[in-house]
Amino acid sequence: MIATLRRSKMVSFRLSLEEYARFQTICEARGIRSLSDLARTAVQSMAMSHDSPDPLWHEVGALRNQLTSLSRELDRVSKELESRQRA
């Protein structure tokens, strides 16, 4: 699994109730554990596409995002299986 990086800086922004609900739905549908992870992934993707006009970098960024989502989903499934085995 992808190791969680220790993060020391925080960025915050306000959302309307509708935005918050929509983003929560996206997180649940994609297996993203938090709005922070969703925002971080979106900003990283935007930064990658801005830093390099090369379409290959955009594809690499998209693949990275997919791998991150898959890793989170595997973590979730693994935890679910562990909890079922304990029960």
The total number of residues shown for the chain amounts to 87
Is the confidence at residue 67, as pLDDT, over 70? yes
In a domain, 79, yes or no: yes
How high is the pLDDT of residue 20? 95
pTM reported for the whole predicted model: 0.52
Distance of CA 67 to the CA centre of its chain: 10
- Domain presence at residue 1: no
* Tokens 């922004």 found at: 13
Phi-psi region of 31 (alpha: psi -120 to 50; beta: other; left: phi over 0): left
Number of structural domains found in the chain: 1
The C-alpha atoms of residue 34 and residue 87 are separated, in whole angstroms, by 27
Average pLDDT estimate for 17-33: 91
User: Is 17 a domain residue?
Assistant: no
Asked whether residue 22 is domain-assigned, the answer is no
Q: Which two tokens stand for residue 47?
A: 């930064």
Domain extent for 65: 34-86
